[in-house]
Amino acid sequence: MKHAEQMYTYCKERGYFSGSDRSFTLKLFEVIEKYLTPEEEVLLCFVGVHNRRSATSNEGFYAYALTNQRLMMGQKKLLGDDIKSLSLQSIQDIRLHKDSTTALLELHTADGPIKIMLTEYESEDIYQSLRHQLFHSVDSSSEKGTPPESAAEQLLKFKEMLDDQLITKEDFEKLKNEILS
């Protein structure tokens, strides 16, 4: 995806909150579109409340787009745009905390967590899609000449997979022994 309209359609087809108000959502995704580089492609996108600290303390609605190069966060301001980005390698962990009607998606980086409030309905799909695309994107970038993961990074990745019940304890032990030998 390269255009705001495509990002809006992506959200609408998945039933995300960001697919509910076309005009508002397009303004946010237009910020992302404006700052994409020619070789960048959006893999997944959504809208959430940025850096939620409490029920009354946050930075407002932002568009989020995971590209093949980075995670972009954009907001249309009265005067200009606010655009932030994280390299894919800087995202150390992703967590999801749900309550009755909302959910908090946390992206953990060395600089601290980024907290994004989502609706409970869309949160699990966004969380799973983000984890899948992020690990897939990081794996793909390794094949394109970036330094290979250290043994510690590999072990952490496999431990997360074990914690998420994507692999069994036996598989984890086998992989751990292969890495450490």
Any idea what DSSP says for residue 166?
S
What's the pTM value of the predicted model, to 2 decimals? 0.72
Q: Which helix (H) or strand (E) holds 114?
A: strand 112-119
Looking only at the bridges linking them, the beta strands covering 70-76 and 93-98 are unpaired
- Separation CA 51–CA 105 (nearest Å): 10
Which fold does the domain 4-144 belong to in CATH? PH-domain like (2.30.29)
pLDDT value, residue 142: 47
Span 22-39, pLDDT tens digits = 888 999 999 999 999 999
- Separation CA 112–CA 19 (nearest Å): 29
Looking only at the bridges linking them, the beta strands covering 42-50 and 70-76 are unpaired
The residue assigned the tokens 């292969």 is: 178
Span 59-80, pLDDT tens digits = 789 999 999 999 999 999 888 8
